[in-house]
Amino acid sequence: MVPVSDEMMKRVHALDLPFNRYGIDPYGIQASTLAEVFTVLSWLYYSYFRVHVSGLANVPSAGRSMLVGNHSGGWALDGIMTMTALFLEPEPPRLAQGMAERFIGRAPLIGQMAKAMGAIVGIPENATHLLEHERLLLVYPEGAKGTEKLYSERNSLVDFGTGFLRLALRTRTPIIPVAFVGGGEAIPTIFNLYKLARRLGVPYIPITPWGLAVPRPTTLQIYFGEPIWFEGDGNEEDVIILRWVNEVKEAIAKLISKGVEERHRIEINRTKATAKTPW
């Protein structure tokens, strides 16, 4: 087990979650697991990567919201760091609960840990339940195709699914666009292994210039955009839904552009900062 600081435990209990006397919430989120894992993640967040966060005020401090992000980097680094930012930065902290691929449900150990951290198998029933219980949901409408992006495609967006938007309409949930920039630099995928992956039961295995997809310590940028409200009941025609999905997609693309634009300046600042604290 990881030694947990008082500060970390305090943040866990500041979360708006109905933990029972054993520190377990109705979705199986475990206070002790959160504290331990966020202890590790906070080191990555503050010390290994340099994470730049912008627009935190757009995330409401309570109530249902749907964070809709772009995939960046060959695996869930984007989601994990977004979760970490929302746990460490705002007061009170918030727990962003990710919609995971189905294999998370079957996978021993890793699946169990993900669930104890609040991840949920990504089916509509689960998303609806979380939102009806005023949770903060983190979704990636690009799906697995998004994490398969190669280095050269790192700041582009692939097709969005439309399910998230109908869900937001049905549950009357605001959508908060989130851009993640730098994942492609941290894990520059040069190609993906598919055949071996299928054998191991995962969709693909990203390969970087140094082989396995261990991220390098680069700058990561997270931009939270302004909440977008759509009015409807979720049974609209596809053509309307697609227009609204594109609105969300464009909002994210705009945030990504901003991130790409600012990246150089932020990295210079980083170099200056690390020059002061050499490790």
Partner 1 sequence: MKVLITGVSSVPGRLVAELLSRNGHQVMGIDRRPWPGAPSQIPVHRVDLRKRPAEDVFRTFRPEAVVHMATVSYLERSSDDLRHNNLGSTKKVFEYCHNHGAKKAIFVGRHTVYGAASDSPIYHFEDAPPMAGSLYPELADLVAADLYAGQALWRYPELDSVILRIVYELGPHRHSTLATFLEGPKIPTILGFDPLFQFMHEHDIARAIVSALDHSIRGVFNVAGPTPVPLSLLAHETGRTPISLPEVLFPFITGRFGFSRLPPAALDHIKYPILVDDRAFRKATKFAHSYDESDAMIGFRTGDAAKTTNKV
Q: Residue numbers of the site for partner 1 (CB under 8 A)? A: 18, 20-22, 24-28, 30, 102, 105-112, 116, 120-121, 123, 125-126, 129, 162-163, 235, 237-238
Q: What are the backbone angles phi and psi of residue 98, rounded to the nearest 5°?
A: -85, 150
Contact between residue 120 and residue 97 where contact means Cβ atoms under 8 Å apart:
yes
In angstroms, give the least distance from the CB of 60 to partner 1. 24
Contact between residue 72 and residue 184 where contact means Cβ atoms under 8 Å apart:
yes
The dihedral built from the CA positions of residue 105, 107, 112 and 114, taken in this order, carries a sign that is negative
In angstroms, give the least distance from the CB of 101 to partner 1. 10
State the Cα–Cα distance between residues 82 and 59, nearest whole angstrom: 12
Please identify, using beta-carbon distances, which residue of 26 and 92 lies nearer to partner 1. Answer: 26
Please identify, using beta-carbon distances, which residue of 25 and 148 lies nearer to partner 1. Answer: 25
Segments in 15-143 forming alpha helices (H): 31-43, 77-88, 103-106, 110-116, 124-132
In angstroms, give the least distance from the CB of 164 to partner 1. 11
Please identify, using beta-carbon distances, which residue of 3 and 201 lies nearer to partner 1. Answer: 201
Strand 96-100 with 136-139, pairing: parallel
Please name which of 180, 124, 111, 183 lies closest in space to residue 150, comparing C-alpha atoms.
183
Please identify, using beta-carbon distances, which residue of 33 and 72 lies nearer to partner 1. Answer: 33
Segments in the chain forming alpha helices (H): 6-14, 31-43, 77-88, 103-106, 110-116, 124-132, 144-147, 163-171, 183-186, 195-200, 238-276
In angstroms, give the least distance from the CB of 26 to partner 1. 5
C-alpha 127: how far from chain center: 15
In angstroms, give the least distance from the CB of 13 to partner 1. 16
Please identify, using beta-carbon distances, which residue of 238 and 261 lies nearer to partner 1. Answer: 238
Please identify, using beta-carbon distances, which residue of 127 and 220 lies nearer to partner 1. Answer: 127
In angstroms, give the least distance from the CB of 161 to partner 1. 8
